[in-house]
A and B are shown apart, each in its own frame.
Chain A
Amino acid sequence: MDTQQEPRKTFVVPIGPQHPALKEPGHFEITVDGEIVTAATVRLGYVHRGIEKGVEQQNWTQAMYMLERICGICSHVHATAYALGVEALAGVQAPPRAQAIRVLVAELERVHSHLLWLGVAAHEGGFDTLFMYSWRDREMIMDVLEGLTGNRVNYSCNVLGGVKFDVDDTHADAIRRAIDFLEPRTHHYLKVVTTDETLIGRTRNVGTMTSLEAETLGTVGPTARASGVPRDIRVDAPYAAYPDFPVKTITATAGDLEAKFVVRIQELFESYRVIREILDKLPAGDLAVRMKPRIPPGETVSRVEAPRGELFYFLKSAGGLNPDRVKVRTPSLCNWGSVLATAPGHKLADVPMLIAGIDPCFSCNDRLVTVRRRSTAETWTWAKLRQYGIEYYR
């Protein structure tokens, strides 16, 4: 350890890249004074897979499946954002039934993602019972998704121009049954997280972020909404079938960890309502329209609301079989700042919960960022990028 070699005042606790608190690799250096955190830094990019570059070598159809694999939990929204963008470029509109099914799967995914988060956050705080129960109940949604789409994760529900499958009565009944089971359970979890003395001791007034801070740090999704920033793409810029099935923005004012629990759990109720509404009023019609393999040249921006916040896609076509450029900005990336800003002053024991509080997705942070100080433009060759990668991971 460094303290042996040179007398250093700071005691740095490394969390990651491999650490039991992190299910994916990321590196945090937590400087502590006793148990109190004085500074925190993050280093990301351990899962750089080069997906943005990779899709440039794939055709428009193949690219969707690679982009779907950016995130394992919110895979569907990635495919939806991409499909909506490509359809906009091609000037094609997916049929209303397809859009409704996209939203249905997206909301089911949100339910599974939020229940997963509830369990993970409880586990980080050492509340394994809540973890086990929320994941047990999440299994209902996983089964529903498996029955509906054929896969438990990476549902591959989209095709360019629509969706792959229909929702028939048996599936609608299965979904309704699952929702009917989950709704009282979710009420119970809301009660647990707002009343359980030990859990409140770990969440109330921990990681408090005012709405101004949340705005300044550029947070998105439930992290921002827990601080009272009403930021939700489903409401601000409705896409797919959200204009027909509007959702309500759930916000809280406290901005602490408890508010993040409450916001996410209350979003579940909103999702249940939307899912029921879609099942009752599913528009009739085709499932997909045909798309040509070549997409006309152009640029577009596609934004959707992932369970973790705003997901941003920039797509550029040169008129060929392959995308010319795909730029993805995932919600987790926007929220890291809030962890680092709120961590100092808290106990070391709070740090895993603070990290979990933004529902981080590490593989979503796969990117290379350089900050250009001067206005001189610079072109990086493959060889230089490669060398940079080798140096970075050394």
Chain B
Amino acid sequence: MRIGAMLGDISRSLFKRPVTERYPFERKATPERLRGQLTFDPAKCTGCKICVRDCPAHGIEIMVVDKVAKRFVMRFHTDRCTYCAQCVVSCKFDALGMSHEQWELAALSKEAFFVSFGREEDIQALLTQVTCTPGVAPVGPVAPATT
């Protein structure tokens, strides 16, 4: 029985730097395994679509433009994704990965949650196709050249 059992803690803390992370001003390095935005390598993809089948959040769409020429377009919904990495495990060909650098995916508009991977002209071709289809979200900005 004593009064103020945490006296040691609070008196030490007065002379210590606070542990609060000043996040937007000071950024810590993210761990290697952090699951951020999905990355896609069309050269390795075979278009088997196991990732699409296993995705619990329906966050991946794979469109086959030309299977032989390895022309695939992957469309990734950052807002639907639960970052469980099941698709990365499911992919037998290592075509999918998760970036540990791109993880600040919050955005002010819905378009930003929609990322397409693949060859520029394929995306453009699909873009014109898709925008004509009612009820389907337009193709968002193209991800930086990770592919």
Residues of A within 8 A of B (CB): 58-59, 61-66, 68-69, 129-130, 133, 136, 139, 146-151, 154, 156, 159, 164-165, 188, 191-192, 195-200
Kindly list chain A residues whose C-beta atoms are within 8 Å of the C-beta of B4: 196
Are B10 and A149 in contact, CB atoms less than 8 angstroms apart?
Answer: no
Shortest C-beta distance, B112 to chain A (Å), equals: 22
B71 in the interface, Cβ–Cβ < 8 Å? no
Partner of A59, one of B5, B54, B84: B54
Shortest C-beta distance, B21 to chain A (Å), equals: 9
Kindly list chain B residues whose C-beta atoms are within 8 Å of the C-beta of A159: 86, 89
Kindly list chain B residues whose C-beta atoms are within 8 Å of the C-beta of A139: 19
Partner of B33, one of A59, A64, A147, A196: A147
Are A151 and B83 in contact, CB atoms less than 8 angstroms apart?
Answer: yes
Shortest C-beta distance, B48 to chain A (Å), equals: 13
Are B6 and A192 in contact, CB atoms less than 8 angstroms apart?
Answer: yes
B104 in the interface, Cβ–Cβ < 8 Å? no
Kindly list chain A residues whose C-beta atoms are within 8 Å of the C-beta of B90: 61
Which residues of B47-73 are within 8 A (CB) of A?
53-57
Q: A150-B85, A156-B86, A192-B6 are in contact. Are A61 and B54 (CB under 8 A)?
A: yes
Are B82 and A130 in contact, CB atoms less than 8 angstroms apart?
Answer: no
Are A136 and B19 in contact, CB atoms less than 8 angstroms apart?
Answer: yes
Partner of A200, one of B1, B9, B19: B1
Shortest C-beta distance, B144 to chain A (Å), equals: 21
Kindly list chain B residues whose C-beta atoms are within 8 Å of the C-beta of A200: 1
Q: A150-B34, A165-B33 are in contact. Are A196 and B6 (CB under 8 A)?
A: yes
Contacts across chains A and B counted by CB atoms under 8 Å: 77
**Number of chain B residues close to chain A: CB under 8 A:** 28
Kindly list chain B residues whose C-beta atoms are within 8 Å of the C-beta of A136: 19
A222-B55 Cα distance, complex, nearest whole Å = 36
Are A148 and B54 in contact, CB atoms less than 8 angstroms apart?
Answer: no
Kindly list chain A residues whose C-beta atoms are within 8 Å of the C-beta of B86: 61-62, 65, 156, 159
A65-B4 Cα distance, complex, nearest whole Å = 45
B contact patch SS: loop
Shortest C-beta distance, A113 to chain B (Å), equals: 20
Partner of B84, one of A154, A192, A196: A154
Residue of B nearest to A79 (CB): B84
Partner of A61, one of B1, B35, B56: B56
Shortest C-beta distance, B98 to chain A (Å), equals: 7
A199-B55 Cα distance, complex, nearest whole Å = 48
A130-B55 Cα distance, complex, nearest whole Å = 41
22 contacts between A and B (CB under 8 A): A59-B54, A61-B86, A62-B86, A65-B82, A66-B56, A129-B6, A129-B10, A130-B6, A146-B34, A147-B32, A148-B33, A150-B83, A150-B100, A154-B82, A156-B84, A164-B89, A196-B3, A196-B4, A196-B5, A196-B6, A197-B3, A199-B5
Kindly list chain A residues whose C-beta atoms are within 8 Å of the C-beta of B83: 150-151, 156
A133-B53 Cα distance, complex, nearest whole Å = 44
Among all A-B residue pairs, the 3 with the closest Cβ atoms? A65-B56, A196-B5, A156-B84
B31 in the interface, Cβ–Cβ < 8 Å? yes
Chain B 132-147 per-residue mask, 1 if CB under 8 angstroms from chain A, else 0: 0000000000000000
Residue of A nearest to B28 (CB): A143
Chain B 1-28 per-residue mask, 1 if CB under 8 angstroms from chain A, else 0: 1111110011000000001000000000
Partner of A164, one of B2, B10, B34, B85: B85
A192-B1 Cα distance, complex, nearest whole Å = 9
Are A62 and B33 in contact, CB atoms less than 8 angstroms apart?
Answer: no
Q: A66-B56, A136-B19, A156-B85 are in contact. Are A191 and B33 (CB under 8 A)?
A: no
